[in-house]
Chains A and B, each alone.
Chain A
């Protein structure tokens, strides 16, 4: 890849489908919950029974507007639902209700960061539409089974400009979008369940050429890793094809994660004439300024703003600020911890991004499911702050807290982990260590200051880490003078 990039440039645009986190479907009162028995959440409207009619879900509209405001986009004062006509067994009405000429969200943008450089990616539009059902390919006497539970689930289709030039940028954009929709609370972002998926439009052109090459569309990619792999594979395929005298054809391709390749989906492609026209069952959606203002007021602090604030308010470095604002729940946890513990923000940040996230990752848990709440962690950090325990002991206490429901104080008491501040006891240990290590004493006195650390280590080990390190330092210095 990298060597090919000397001559070629990739042009990538993404169409992201985010399932909106409404309770009911976009045009019916059926539930959207994932994982129900087949067709138990497909009501008369979702099934497209003769005579049924759609009525638009207010929450879906609000979520669309919320998204538009978050990417600084134009919100259409007047948007229209259209019918996209095609036949497929998982599309009950023979048309999908979508938006075509007048989408709810117009031009906006999202800033991404790749290799330390910022880049602005244009968002052409975002529109509301209904999802289709699913075809199940287990063999029912050589037939397929259709489950329409997902039919009618609200989707926001977010279409980017062809502004990305590498798979890396595409992944950064997709991740940023993923973070944003979860911040806004409009999508659960669950990629395994298909709540957040994307199609990638990929073309290549010789470097320096303005005109876009012919693009292929890769369908239904549902993980960040696959986006990168699928796009890179497709770029390679196209370059190879052109360099061997071939031509890229405009088509839809499917990424096969098992073989790490894309293949043509010609079967579904033929005669792509969707015959869009305004859905006569639905009226134009009017978004008033008041409606917009009301939603704007409910908008949470967005990731970029939060990151900036964390740096300024808490004095965090860039790395910690990025980590701690990667999700709204994590940021909330951190801020709660700062408040509850009364400790320095830096200590809190290090604990959340270090111990806590490490443990969560190991256990494959989300911050929302953390066994150690911010209150309990605050209890621990307080004990570091008031010198009851050292940072090292605190890590042991944290591990015990992870496995139990006890407070930090109870664990410290129970296990006798309190720091020893009794100078007599420390002095006795220091004296013994000095007596036992005459060789090192000589080195130290000869001017090798590095040996000082050896003495601290020995004392701390002897005292099972419970001595106050500052006190040990001070006393050793005095003794060794």
Chain B
């Protein structure tokens, strides 16, 4: 059961081959069986089984959609009413969210069953899932490698078939990079396409929630439920949501693919480059035309991002002060002690590093040189994309410079870790949609192909990814021991 696509499962549920309760129980058993990969922070059996029962009742009444009764899990960054929402941090280890994120509400309304909450880098700050208060997640393809981050728990759980699909969030690559490292399909939508309400903010102008699943088709079904205008989010965009599934079948003959030469410079592992090149060749066989494009400002994405994201996070995380919720230090002596120690003890090292960086970048005398300059660079980068996307339909390239690296390998060197986001970060600065789809394996570890589209071109991205997945089976591979 656990290997099936959403459509296959929906058909099985409708045909009464199995119930949602049975499916949920099977998934819960797998979660228990593969506990050691540490992909879940919270598993809520009673809650899940109750939702499964409700789904079965809905199916019996004929009131259902493709997602009704499908067991999935949420990244622990999405607030879930009555269920612990830790954001991977000690700060929120005791935080039972008193409300649901809009994305959670929407997926619940679609009838999904929430198995639990998924591990992640603390406050989504990290590229390896090693900054989590709950410990690192293991990559199902290679248990001593990281799953990527920050949605590492989501990627690992879907790859290991512990959940049919999962939500993720992407601020600088946090859906695409773990999807790439774990051999699954992930989509970061256009900024504003999916509501941010109830998604604990890391960097508000970059954060975007999206689907993580085995295939483009599953992502399309998920995104259909997740996307749409939300009047609780000022940055949510009021545009109609297209029928993503209907768009999958479109012919991609004549598709114009841009390949930035800057994507194939130093630092890209040879075996990854080979796989990406092969995938692009495969697209040519499907009728696509490939064109080299120039994006001179791409190299500035990392510095601009590591000013903007920390600056925003330094303010976003100020609400964690030990007063109204979350961790409070023992016996605070005075107000300053309450704030300083609660935050000092509640946050981990990477979060602190970014808060310090952001505080510095915004402080008197440095604002213009850092924050304002970074915002200007941000425009230059986004203009590069806009120019290129007038010439081509999509941009393709690698998601990450290497396959999943070893647990502990980069923890001592934050800058090296930051550099691993080089191909994904620029897309968040521009606010564009992008996907990672499985495109092959290097030394047994998955490699993802990144497809970047124009604003609100999710339908096209899914279509392009789906057409590739019709002729390849990289996305159907399962890690050994998890089949």
Establish whether residues B205 and A275, one from each chain, have CB atoms under 8 Å apart when the complex forms: no
For window 333-376 of B, CB contacts with A under 8 Å fall at 335, 339, 359, 362-364, 367, 371
Establish whether residues A94 and B204, one from each chain, have CB atoms under 8 Å apart when the complex forms: no
Closest to B85 in A: A50
**Does B287 lie at the interface of the complex (its beta carbon under 8 Å from any beta carbon of A)?**
no
Q: CA of A48 to CA of B79 in the docked complex: distance in angstroms?
A: 13
0/1 interface trace, chain A 98-137, chain B, CB 8 Å (1 if under): 0000000000000000000000000000000000000000
Q: CA of A87 to CA of B363 in the docked complex: distance in angstroms?
A: 15
Establish whether residues A50 and B335, one from each chain, have CB atoms under 8 Å apart when the complex forms: no
Establish whether residues A273 and B235, one from each chain, have CB atoms under 8 Å apart when the complex forms: no
Establish whether residues A48 and B324, one from each chain, have CB atoms under 8 Å apart when the complex forms: yes
Q: CA of A277 to CA of B204 in the docked complex: distance in angstroms?
A: 13
Q: CA of A14 to CA of B323 in the docked complex: distance in angstroms?
A: 33
Establish whether residues B200 and A51, one from each chain, have CB atoms under 8 Å apart when the complex forms: yes
A92 cross-chain contacts in B, Cβ below 8 A: 319, 323-324
**Does A280 lie at the interface of the complex (its beta carbon under 8 Å from any beta carbon of B)?**
yes
Q: CA of A95 to CA of B87 in the docked complex: distance in angstroms?
A: 21
Q: CA of A146 to CA of B362 in the docked complex: distance in angstroms?
A: 29
Closest to B326 in A: A50
B445 cross-chain contacts in A, Cβ below 8 A: none
Establish whether residues B363 and A273, one from each chain, have CB atoms under 8 Å apart when the complex forms: yes
Q: Which of A44, A87, A146, A277 contacts B318 (CB 8 A)?
A: A87
A88 cross-chain contacts in B, Cβ below 8 A: 335
B335 cross-chain contacts in A, Cβ below 8 A: 87-89
Establish whether residues A49 and B315, one from each chain, have CB atoms under 8 Å apart when the complex forms: no
Establish whether residues A55 and B318, one from each chain, have CB atoms under 8 Å apart when the complex forms: no
Q: How far is the CB of A40 from chain B (nearest CB, A)?
A: 15
Q: How far is the CB of B408 from chain A (nearest CB, A)?
A: 29
User: A146 and B371 in contact (CB under 8 A), knowing A50-B87, A55-B234?
Assistant: no
Establish whether residues B198 and A51, one from each chain, have CB atoms under 8 Å apart when the complex forms: yes
Chain B binding surface SS class: loop
User: A93 and B234 in contact (CB under 8 A), knowing A47-B324, A49-B99, A51-B101?
Assistant: no
Establish whether residues A56 and B234, one from each chain, have CB atoms under 8 Å apart when the complex forms: yes
Q: How far is the CB of A320 from chain B (nearest CB, A)?
A: 50
Q: CA of A350 to CA of B320 in the docked complex: distance in angstroms?
A: 61
Establish whether residues B362 and A277, one from each chain, have CB atoms under 8 Å apart when the complex forms: yes
A52 cross-chain contacts in B, Cβ below 8 A: 197-198
For window 35-83 of A, CB contacts with B under 8 Å fall at 44, 47-56, 83
**Does B196 lie at the interface of the complex (its beta carbon under 8 Å from any beta carbon of A)?**
yes
Q: How far is the CB of B346 from chain A (nearest CB, A)?
A: 12
A93 cross-chain contacts in B, Cβ below 8 A: 315, 318-319
**Does A471 lie at the interface of the complex (its beta carbon under 8 Å from any beta carbon of B)?**
no
**Does B92 lie at the interface of the complex (its beta carbon under 8 Å from any beta carbon of A)?**
yes
User: A83 and B315 in contact (CB under 8 A), knowing A49-B99, A281-B235, A282-B234?
Assistant: yes
0/1 interface trace, chain B 233-267, chain A, CB 8 Å (1 if under): 11100000000000000000000000000000000
Establish whether residues A94 and B321, one from each chain, have CB atoms under 8 Å apart when the complex forms: yes
For window 86-126 of B, CB contacts with A under 8 Å fall at 87, 92, 95, 97-99, 101
Establish whether residues B98 and A44, one from each chain, have CB atoms under 8 Å apart when the complex forms: yes
A87 cross-chain contacts in B, Cβ below 8 A: 318, 321, 335, 339
Establish whether residues A275 and B362, one from each chain, have CB atoms under 8 Å apart when the complex forms: yes
**Does A385 lie at the interface of the complex (its beta carbon under 8 Å from any beta carbon of B)?**
no
**Does B325 lie at the interface of the complex (its beta carbon under 8 Å from any beta carbon of A)?**
yes
Q: CA of A88 to CA of B324 in the docked complex: distance in angstroms?
A: 12
Q: How far is the CB of B428 from chain A (nearest CB, A)?
A: 12
B235 cross-chain contacts in A, Cβ below 8 A: 53, 280-281, 283
Establish whether residues A53 and B318, one from each chain, have CB atoms under 8 Å apart when the complex forms: no
0/1 interface trace, chain B 26-47, chain A, CB 8 Å (1 if under): 0000000000000000000000
Q: How far is the CB of A353 from chain B (nearest CB, A)?
A: 49
Report the count of interface residues on B (CB-CB < 8 A). 45
For window 47-102 of B, CB contacts with A under 8 Å fall at 78-79, 85, 87, 92, 95, 97-99, 101
Chain A binding surface SS class: loop
Establish whether residues B371 and A277, one from each chain, have CB atoms under 8 Å apart when the complex forms: yes
Q: How far is the CB of B182 from chain A (nearest CB, A)?
A: 26
Closest to B332 in A: A143
**Does B164 lie at the interface of the complex (its beta carbon under 8 Å from any beta carbon of A)?**
no
Q: How many A-B residue pairs have CB under 8 A?
A: 103
For window 274-308 of A, CB contacts with B under 8 Å fall at 275-277, 280-283
**Does B203 lie at the interface of the complex (its beta carbon under 8 Å from any beta carbon of A)?**
yes
**Does B23 lie at the interface of the complex (its beta carbon under 8 Å from any beta carbon of A)?**
no
**Does B163 lie at the interface of the complex (its beta carbon under 8 Å from any beta carbon of A)?**
no
**Does B312 lie at the interface of the complex (its beta carbon under 8 Å from any beta carbon of A)?**
yes
Q: How far is the CB of A83 from chain B (nearest CB, A)?
A: 5
B367 cross-chain contacts in A, Cβ below 8 A: 275, 277
**Does B274 lie at the interface of the complex (its beta carbon under 8 Å from any beta carbon of A)?**
no
Establish whether residues B92 and A281, one from each chain, have CB atoms under 8 Å apart when the complex forms: no
B98 cross-chain contacts in A, Cβ below 8 A: 44, 49
Q: How far is the CB of B174 from chain A (nearest CB, A)?
A: 16
Establish whether residues B363 and A275, one from each chain, have CB atoms under 8 Å apart when the complex forms: yes
B364 cross-chain contacts in A, Cβ below 8 A: 273, 275
Q: CA of A331 to CA of B232 in the docked complex: distance in angstroms?
A: 42
Q: How far is the CB of A39 from chain B (nearest CB, A)?
A: 9
Q: CA of A297 to CA of B87 in the docked complex: distance in angstroms?
A: 50
Establish whether residues A283 and B234, one from each chain, have CB atoms under 8 Å apart when the complex forms: yes
Q: CA of A347 to CA of B359 in the docked complex: distance in angstroms?
A: 67
A273 cross-chain contacts in B, Cβ below 8 A: 363-364
Q: CA of A281 to CA of B371 in the docked complex: distance in angstroms?
A: 17
The listed residue with most B CB atoms (<10 A of its CB), out of A56, A89, A283, is A89
A146 cross-chain contacts in B, Cβ below 8 A: 323
Establish whether residues A51 and B79, one from each chain, have CB atoms under 8 Å apart when the complex forms: yes
Q: CA of A273 to CA of B363 in the docked complex: distance in angstroms?
A: 7
Q: CA of A47 to CA of B87 in the docked complex: distance in angstroms?
A: 18
Q: CA of A93 to CA of B311 in the docked complex: distance in angstroms?
A: 15
Q: CA of A87 to CA of B312 in the docked complex: distance in angstroms?
A: 16
**Does B201 lie at the interface of the complex (its beta carbon under 8 Å from any beta carbon of A)?**
yes
B201 cross-chain contacts in A, Cβ below 8 A: 50-51, 281
Establish whether residues B95 and A50, one from each chain, have CB atoms under 8 Å apart when the complex forms: yes
User: A51 and B197 in contact (CB under 8 A), knowing A275-B362, A277-B362?
Assistant: yes
Closest to A50 in B: B200
Q: CA of A83 to CA of B200 in the docked complex: distance in angstroms?
A: 18
**Does A419 lie at the interface of the complex (its beta carbon under 8 Å from any beta carbon of B)?**
no
**Does A85 lie at the interface of the complex (its beta carbon under 8 Å from any beta carbon of B)?**
yes
A276 cross-chain contacts in B, Cβ below 8 A: 362
Q: A residues within 8 Å of B by Cβ?
A: 44, 47-56, 83, 85, 87-89, 92-95, 146, 273, 275-277, 280-283
User: Can you list 17 A-B pairs with a CB-CB distance of less than 8 A?
Assistant: A47-B324, A48-B324, A49-B319, A51-B79, A51-B97, A51-B197, A53-B232, A55-B234, A56-B234, A85-B314, A92-B324, A93-B318, A94-B319, A275-B363, A276-B362, A277-B371, A281-B234
Top 10 A-B pairs ranked by shortest CB distance? Answer: A94-B318, A280-B205, A275-B362, A280-B204, A48-B319, A51-B198, A50-B200, A93-B319, A51-B200, A51-B79
A51-B79, A87-B339, A95-B318 given; 11 more Cβ-contact pairs under 8 Å: A49-B97, A50-B79, A50-B97, A50-B320, A51-B97, A55-B231, A85-B318, A87-B321, A273-B363, A281-B234, A283-B235
